[in-house]
Structure formats: C-alpha cells, structure tokens
Structure 1
Amino acid sequence: MSACNGHCLDCLYDFCVPETPVRRPTKAAQRSEWKQDALFELEELGDLYGIDPEAVRL
C-alpha cells in the first residue's frame, strides 16, 4: 500500500485530488467559448441547408 496523502498530481488512486484548485473560466472566456460554439453551429446549419458562408454576414 502506498503512503498517498490525497494531494499528488499524478496519483493512480481515484480518491486523489490535486492541491491546485480547479479554476472556473472567466465571464469573458465563457462568452468567447459561447460565440465560437454558436459560429460553429451556424456553419453546420449553412452546410446542411446549402447556404454559402461568404454570402452571409455573421
């Protein structure tokens, strides 16, 4: 058995949690991610319905 303290970064055990806390994304990062996701979805819909992306201003 290992002398694991539950705070190692490369532990093999499921109960281990790294010491560094998980950072939540900032609001600006969330907006940027949302915008990229929305643009991707619009491109997919354009491909599905045969709309030329150059003809549409986003």
Structure 2
Amino acid sequence: MSACNGRCDDCPYDFCGPEAPKRRPSKAAERSWRQDALFELEELGDLYGIDPGAVTL
C-alpha cells in the first residue's frame, strides 16, 4: 500500500478517489503519531544538543 493521502487529482488508486469517504484517524493512531513525533524530537534534540525539556510539541 502506498502512502497516498487521497487528495491527489490523478491518483491511480480507486480506494482514495474523491468519492471515497474521508475518515478521521482513531484516537489510538493519533496517540501513536504523537508518541512517534515526541521520540523524533528527542532524537533531534540529542543530535543537536538541545535540552528535551525545552522542546514542546
């Protein structure tokens, strides 16, 4: 499966065309994405020497 967001005009996938219903991500998915983003910020902070307490999401 592609990382298609369903918003491209010439999308080759019929499951994400304009007639496909748009669904909001589940709360569990949103929490997972937030946790992933926090982890990435922490890693970047370590890489660039930034205090993790000074970085917020």
**TM-score, normalised relative to structure 1:** 0.54
- Residue 36 of structure 2 is matched in structure 1 by 36
Structure 2: how far apart are the matches of 1:47 and 1:10? 39
Q: Percent identity?
A: 38
Instruction: Identify the structure with bigger relative contact order (alpha carbons < 8 Å, sequence gap 6+).
Output: 2
Size of the aligned set, in residue pairs, is 37
Structure 1: how far apart are the matches of 2:25 and 2:35? 15
**TM-score, normalised relative to structure 2:** 0.54
Structure 2 stretches lacking a partner, 5+ long: 1-8, 12-16, 51-57
Structure 2: how far apart are the matches of 1:10 and 1:41? 34
Structure 1 stretches lacking a partner, 5+ long: 1-8, 12-16, 51-58
After the TM superposition, which parts of structure 1 deviate over 2 Å for at least 4 consecutive aligned residues?
Answer: none
- Residue 4 of structure 2 is matched in structure 1 by none
Structure 2: how far apart are the matches of 1:46 and 1:10? 41
